[in-house]
Chains A and B, each alone.
Chain A
Amino acid sequence: MAHSISELYNQVINEHRKYPRNKGLIEGYKTLHLKNPSCGDDVTVQVSVKDGKVADVRHDGTGCVICCSSASVMSEVLIGKTVEEASEIIDDFYELIKGNVPKDEDRLGDAIVYVNIHNFPPRAKCATLAWRAAGALLLGDEGEQTDE
């Protein structure tokens, strides 16, 4: 029993599970629906960019706590950042999930709570699903995608 469950479901994650931030979609935003058919995680992410900045991030969907909380945390972290910063933060988040040291930990904000995910490798996909949707939206993708 190397890693305990409380390392995974810490207070911040639990807080976002109970009270998700920026949840619910807004018509007119660029939207990307991403799902992982093998486990059932299913999220839709929206990003609204104004004057080179992430003005708003919305999300909705169903899935495990790691997936849903991560979408909520991400929305808070990315709002207000420039598109460039947001893309860098997303890349940093992937590094964190892999167990590597991110370039700029501070910018990750609350997303740092997923630092232990690399001890639970099967859950890495859950944590990154919404982030991948946001990253793709920032690159100009829209619509439906399947993550396998």
Chain B
Amino acid sequence: MSTLLNVKKDFPVLMNNKDLVYLDTAATALKPQCVIDKLDEYYTLYGVNVNRGVYTLSYQATLEYEETRTLTAKFLNAKEKEIVFTKGASNGLNMVAFGFGMNYLEEGDEVITSELEHHSNVLPWMEVCKHKKAILKYIPLDSTGRITIEAFKKTISPKTKVVALTYVSNVMGYITPIKEIIKIAHEHGIVVVVDAAQAVAHMKIDVVDLDCDFLAFSSHKMMGPTGFGILYGKYKYLKVMKPVEYGGDMIDVVEKYSNTTKDAPFKFETGTPPVAEAIAFKEAIQYIEKIGYNQIQTHEQLLLNYMKEQLAKIKGITVYNMSTETGIIAFNINHAHPHDAATIFDEHQVALRAGHHCAQLIIKWLECVGTLRACIYIYNDYHDIDKFVEAVKEAAKYFEEW
């Protein structure tokens, strides 16, 4: 019989806030003690700069730092030279649009995206398209708000050069049939950029199996530190992609009027990086791998099914994504603005997100002003869902009487 994970004790925020029901993992995941300890280890034992010093401590720091690249490559089934360290998913997706798209696209070319995207995967392309006089197109979503292969096929044209899509929607929780889309795109010579920010905490990502051309995510959404992230790119594309930032570290030879850069991935990494965060990210990878994605998914599904059953019984609420396959539920309390409803949840110490979730296009598609969003993760349990459901019931009752 499947049972829930029992990992709450690994998360100091939960130990220090015993009554907290944390359902805002889609915004950022809590960090386990091992990640926090690793941050501390860097600052305490060898907190010096990387890639520069010719002394032992700097060498040690650099080894720790580069080990993250090795581990990330294994984690994604990629090669080390295909792993670019970034500030996060937004940063990585912007690098692809401005460093690759800006040179790759020509006037009249088409870029396909969707209304399910986080702003980070639409706005960079919107700007690049404006600049290059290229055309931004949206895959029409089906009646439940999903991206389908059929709709994708209808959206592509001989002019399509780039497809930028999310793997898992940060509002609806839907999994995009990205592998099939990539296959079709490649048959048409289209480059595919995957926003995996929301996916990476919940499912195994194998870039060889997916065959994606670029894929970006943030460390903090998979229990690693904030301010750090990964951009994967096929090396042939990273080679032609231009750095968006120039400066220290990424450079090879500097003359008065010319310069040459290092090769990818290092040409994309300028300035002193978030060293501690990069080093501690390893711990997040290892923590996830120790638990295993199968276990994570089993845990999430048990709680998600329980949550769906409970919500289905409550009158006076609207759930926008009952068919979601990941632990994200988008809903509203009828008659209540999400921010008004959120205060009731805050009273119950249930932390969830209210608003447009940096995805205004899907909020417009849903024809509401915003939603509440609850996201389940490995440190949640049945008690959390019960407390959440209790708050939903109270809110529904309170606003019904308005």
Residues of A within 8 A of B (CB): 1, 3-5, 8-9, 14, 17-18, 38-41, 62-66, 120, 122-123, 126
Contacts and interface: CB of A to CB of B under 8 A. Distances in A.
21 contacts: A4-B347, A5-B343, A5-B344, A8-B343, A9-B340, A14-B402, A38-B355, A39-B339, A39-B354, A39-B355, A40-B339, A40-B356, A41-B339, A63-B339, A65-B337, A66-B339, A66-B340, A120-B343, A122-B342, A123-B343, A126-B339
B347 A64 contact: no
B362 to A, nearest CB: 14
Interface in B344-377: 344, 346-349, 354-356, 369-370
A18 B335 CA distance: 12
Contacts of B398: 5
- Of the candidates A4, A38, A39, A126, the one having the most CB atoms from chain B within 10 angstroms of its own CB is A39
A66 B337 CA distance: 10
Nearest to A63: B337
Nearest to A5: B344
Interface in B232-290: none
Interface residues of B, number: 18
Contacts of A62: 369
B346 A40 contact: no
Contacts of A64: 337-340
Contacts of A126: 339
A4 B354 CA distance: 19
B337 to A, nearest CB: 4
B337 A5 contact: no
Contacts of A39: 339, 354-355, 370
A72 B343 CA distance: 21
Contacts of B346: 120, 122
Interface of B: 337-340, 342-344, 346-349, 354-356, 369-370, 398, 402
A40 B354 CA distance: 10
Nearest to A121: B346
Contacts of B355: 38-40
A3 B347 contact: yes
A1 B348 contact: yes
A122 B352 CA distance: 13
A65 B354 CA distance: 14
B379 to A, nearest CB: 22
Given A39-B355, A66-B339, 6 more contacts: A8-B343, A14-B402, A39-B370, A40-B356, A65-B337, A120-B343
A4 B344 CA distance: 8
A18 B356 CA distance: 25
Nearest to A126: B339
Contacts of B369: 40, 62
A122 B355 CA distance: 13
Contact of B340 (A1, A4, A38, A65): A65
The 5 closest A-B CB pairs, nearest first, are A64-B339, A64-B337, A64-B340, A65-B340, A5-B344
Contacts of B370: 39-40
A90 B91 CA distance: 40
Nearest to B355: A39
Contacts of B344: 5
B253 to A, nearest CB: 42
B94 to A, nearest CB: 19
- Of the candidates B342, B347, B349, B354, the one having the most CB atoms from chain A within 10 angstroms of its own CB is B347
- Of the candidates A18, A62, A65, A126, the one having the most CB atoms from chain B within 10 angstroms of its own CB is A65
Contacts of A1: 347-349
B62 to A, nearest CB: 38
Given A38-B355, A40-B355, A40-B369, A5 B347 contact: yes
Contacts of B337: 63-65
A9 B398 CA distance: 10
Contacts of B343: 5, 8, 120, 122-123
Contacts of A14: 402
A64 B342 CA distance: 10
Contacts of A5: 343-344, 347, 398
